[in-house]
Structure 1
Amino acid sequence: MRKLLLSAEQLITVICLIIYSGTPLDPFLTEGYTLQEGDRTIFRLLYTLTYGIAFLLIILRWKKVIYVISKNKLLWALLGFCAISSFWSLDPDTTTRRVFGLIGTTFFGVYLASRYTLKEQLKLCAYMLAISAIACFLVVFLIPQYGLGGDEQASAWRGIYSQKNILGRRFVLSGAIFFFLAMTTRQNRWVLWLGYVASAILVLFSSSTTSLGNLLILTGTFPVYQRVLRFRYTTLIPTLTFIATISIAFYALFVTYADQILGSIGKDTTLTGRSEIWPAVLEMIQKKPLLGYGYGAFWFGADTSGAAYVQESAGWPVPSAHNGFLDLCLALGIVGFLIFIAGFLSSLFKGIYLIRLNKMVENNVWLLIYLTFLAVSNFTETILIEQNSIEWTLYVSAILSSQLSHNFKESYKNTFTANTGQLKI
């Protein structure tokens, strides 16, 4: 009976992860991604269901959760700042509603960190992403009117997601997870490599150049984080200097020949209009530089004058700044941006420090890979501090799991493996 309940809990966890990532039912619930008001109600109910599930599961192990929560004060300072931004928000009701969703999403990440080891979390994510990948292939081949892009990019795949860029971003994350597991797991590696190849195929056919570049970056960072960071200083410094020099050289080459390179693949140097958005966004940030416009209020609040100005400047109805760092400044100002950066960098440097000490290397290698994923993705998209997103859920679980790996109290150690056996792929 106990094993049955634990298996049910794993299944529920995978289902919740699918809801945060994007369900295979999305194109049907939205009539081919044509979102109606009733559709929003359905999704709100699904997200609220995940909050309730996370709350109930957290209550069952509240002592461990309290210990987990205590491990990162900057995370809770950021969450609290999002909440109090309702006092100066353009639309307090929108900010309050979206903060409620952010809290629910955060606590699901806390549940993952308190319930499963990091390797178990990633295996559950691998199950979820495998289901999503299969669903994407089926939708593309069986109902292409849903699985392929719109009129402007009819050949680009979007699978079960509303846009090709979302498909690309999701399977960059998928590729990173499958690659990490394949490099750190001995059993059934061929399945993990198959997952990596399938992820790469989906990224390629999404026609998202940024996503393809990000997948290559994340694949290349693994040996740097896994091995290079553990070199002695006499070897580490020259090696990192060499890598940095090569990277800068490639970047300079790309900038010099950007028109020719991007033109050859149907792109331009404005990054599909993003560089036309950013000057207008920076202008709006300068009007409220310290505290911003309130969490979630600039683009989605009742006062749309600021968003309308950016959209008019860009020449099309942009839904975000297409840069997570700029959107963070719009929402929370420089103060909120600095709180986030302080937490991000402290996790980054602590991860490097623990790798150098050879303590729980795998946990901290994944943390650095995931932080790299967030950094490179948010240069051209907005996936920072978003409620109901798989990216925020995994950010919370990654930084907490990494910190729990060091000097974790014996009485609070995860007993999942001892009681039920390891998750297997």
Structure 2
Amino acid sequence: MRFVTYTQDSLPSRVSPVGMLMLIAAILLGSGVLPAVAIHFEPTTERLFTLLWLVMYLGAFLGLMFRHGINWISWLLRYRILLVLLLLGTAASVAWSLDARVSAERVVHLLGTSIVAFHIGFSMPLLTTLRVLAVLLGIAILASVGTALGYPALGLESYEGVQVWRGVFISKNDLGFWSAASVLLFITLSESTRELFWRVFCFVMAGIAVGVLIMSQSATSLMAMLVAGAVALYLYISIRFQLGFVRMVVLAVLMVAIVGLAIANIDTASIVGRTGDLTGRGEVWRQTWKLILDQPLTGYGYGALWFPTGETLRIQESLTDFSWVVYHAHNGFLQVASEVGLPLAMLALLWVVQQMIEIFYCQYQRQQAGVLFVLAFSIAFLISNYSEARFLISRELYWILFLALPISMLRQINDTRVPQGSMAGGARSTVMPGPMGPPGTRHGAAMMHGAMAAAPTPSAAELRERPWLAPRQSARFGAHGSSAAASDPAGAAGADAVVRNTRTEQYSKRSPGEGRRAATALKRSSIGSAGIGSGIVDDGSQEHDDAADVEAEQDVFDMTHTSFDDDRYDLDFDLDFDDASATDDWVDPPDERDR
């Protein structure tokens, strides 16, 4: 299992217009806002939305292929192999499904929805995604207030004899979940701006969302928001104020103890307006678990048992003793296990653990508002699956965001420490397939030439203290090498010597293996820079030169790629989509805290 973080910076990429349209369409359709309003006034439009989803699937796939080639597939196989296996296993369940036609149709929608999520994750910056989401959810929340107060036929629904708010969403639970998500979103986005007006606006919208959440009487969403908010607040305080390990542990123990005492001594079911069995969910869970024990390895086929239609209701009635139509298992894990079997359900849990580790680590590394919401949303989504089945569901926004946000987080632009026009901005390039070149093209190297020519040459003293400011004069850059090196080879060679000595000294403080790899990489870098800077051509055999290239490549590959079980490294993984060209930066600049 491989874990990935965004500890490498990347060059800015333009927002894809197709990605923006895909994001807006996914929010409006996946949240249920557009279908709920349209079907209320014209029920025959339901088929139109199915067609729109199919167009989105095709557009997302073509967009990924044209923009990223097969690099996105390589990335998924490398860092999301558990998710890939889960989706493939779900597709294979069509073979043993109780209704193969229905399962095949719903598998197509699940795979298509996942491709839409991948397209958003690979094409849209994280903060842009969150701001678009905030605008559209904010409009939906305000529209829900208006319909609940002014148009009850659409904005209200009956629940156990009581009129509760549904707004412009499909059900009160959807309104509750997205109201809870809006509270977390607006609070975290308030940290992304310094303007007082927008901060106040975010808090006002968060307050409105809290009121809508209460009026929806969605107990699960309320509990999910409170728990996710508490965890996010704990991490924000502990990291923002740089609490030590002992203080963090003490604070965590105190929070867990307080929550535990509250649960043990307070009738929480009454507080959230539910009976002890969560409004009949206990009976659903018991019968679902019985179904799982009858078919533990394979399940009954994806989509064949739950969300029944008029044609498939017979399957549920023949297998269960429900006295009413049960649309889902009211638990994400139980539903996945009953549909595709316990082995794939356990695989899904492993993938969730992997993704949560990445999110926690990213939040620990660099505290940013966007990452904090990804963490809070993921926790709220997982908690909501305790009493609602929202995992592995097609054509739903929460599944799209659960896939897309972590990918966008890992690829987000983080060049705030690199001055505009500096050499470091070009040196720290990564393979980011995009509009600047074909998939796999390293456009950062193309920008380096102009940056090096415009930037002043640092002194030897500055290079000793800040070696990452030195021009990279590796043979890899070819004609993009430093113009200063061509005009003054002696000075360039002296600067390179200072940098190599400083870097070797830094890496000699690490383990012997790391020191040898750094020395090999720097030696190879020095050969390349000598050839470019002074015009000297190595007259050695091509075979020897290629062997040295391979050796240096492997050394740096070992330094930047590893698996989770290698305890010499601290989860610092490469984010490049093309592994063959992921090692242009021989030695990464140290983090600000390391300096």
Q: Same fold (TM over 0.5)?
A: yes
Q: Does 1:290 align with 2:297?
A: yes
Question: d(CA) in 2 for partners of 1:350 and 1:265?
Answer: 32
Q: Does 1:308 align with 2:317?
A: yes
* Residue type of the alignment partner of 1:46: L
Q: 1:252 aligns with which of 264, 271, 291?
A: 264
- SS of the residue 1:308 aligns to: helix
Match of 1:42 in 2: 48
Question: d(CA) in 2 for partners of 1:85 and 1:130?
Answer: 39
* Residue type of the alignment partner of 1:410: T
Question: d(CA) in 1 for partners of 2:412 and 2:19?
Answer: 23
- SS of the residue 2:374 aligns to: helix
Q: Does 1:233 align with 2:253?
A: no
Number of aligned residue pairs: give it. Answer: 403
Match of 1:104 in 2: 112
Question: d(CA) in 1 for partners of 2:187 and 2:74?
Answer: 31
Contact 1:360/1:405 (8 A) holds in 2: no
Farther off after superposition, 146-155 or 277-286: 146-155
Task: Tell me by how many angstroms 1:247 deviates.
Answer: 1.7
Match of 2:140 in 1: 132
Match of 2:65 in 1: 59
Match of 2:24 in 1: 14
Task: Tell me by how many angstroms 1:277 deviates.
Answer: 1.3
Match of 1:391 in 2: 398
Match of 2:540 in 1: none
Question: d(CA) in 2 for partners of 1:184 and 1:291?
Answer: 46
Task: Tell me by how many angstroms 1:221 deviates.
Answer: 2.1
Task: Tell me by how many angstroms 1:56 deviates.
Answer: 3.6
Question: d(CA) in 2 for partners of 1:275 and 1:27?
Answer: 32
Match of 2:523 in 1: none
Q: Does 1:221 align with 2:231?
A: yes
Q: Does 1:210 align with 2:210?
A: no
Question: d(CA) in 1 for partners of 2:147 and 2:277?
Answer: 32
Question: d(CA) in 2 for partners of 1:411 and 1:84?
Answer: 34
Q: Does 1:411 align with 2:421?
A: no
Gap regions ≥5 residues in structure 2: 1-13, 415-427, 437-595
Task: Tell me by how many angstroms 1:353 deviates.
Answer: 3.2
Match of 2:585 in 1: none
Q: 1:190 aligns with which of 192, 200, 214?
A: 200
Q: Which has the larger radius of gyration?
A: 2
Whose helix proportion is higher, 1 or 2? 1
Match of 1:423 in 2: none
Question: d(CA) in 1 for partners of 2:144 and 2:370?
Answer: 30
Question: d(CA) in 2 for partners of 1:52 and 1:332?
Answer: 26
- SS of the residue 1:312 aligns to: coil
Q: Does 1:83 align with 2:91?
A: yes
Q: Does 1:280 align with 2:280?
A: no
Output one character per residue of 1:200-225: Cα deviation in whole Å (capped at 9) or x when no partner.
Answer: 12111112222222222222222223
The percent of aligned pairs where both chains have the same amino acid is 23
- SS of the residue 2:79 aligns to: coil
Contact 2:224/2:379 (8 A) holds in 1: no
Change (3 A) 1:193 1:311: farther
When the two chains are superposed, the root-mean-square deviation of aligned CA atoms in Å is 3.0
Question: d(CA) in 2 for partners of 1:149 and 1:363?
Answer: 34
Question: d(CA) in 2 for partners of 1:22 and 1:97?
Answer: 20
- SS of the residue 2:431 aligns to: helix
Output one character per residue of 1:87-143: Cα deviation in whole Å (capped at 9) or x when no partner.
Answer: 111112111111111111111111111112211111111122122123212322332
Q: Greater RCO between the two (CA within 8 Å, min separation 6)?
A: 1
Task: Tell me by how many angstroms 1:153 deviates.
Answer: 4.3
Contact 1:281/1:310 (8 A) holds in 2: no
Question: d(CA) in 2 for partners of 1:343 and 1:112?
Answer: 20
- SS of the residue 1:412 aligns to: coil
Contact 1:282/1:326 (8 A) holds in 2: yes
Task: Tell me by how many angstroms 1:370 deviates.
Answer: 2.3
Match of 1:92 in 2: 100
Task: Tell me by how many angstroms 1:55 deviates.
Answer: 2.6
Change (3 A) 1:170 1:363: closer
Contact 1:226/1:361 (8 A) holds in 2: no
Question: d(CA) in 1 for partners of 2:104 and 2:145?
Answer: 38
- SS of the residue 1:149 aligns to: strand
Match of 2:565 in 1: none
Match of 1:325 in 2: 333
Question: d(CA) in 2 for partners of 1:316 and 1:303?
Answer: 14
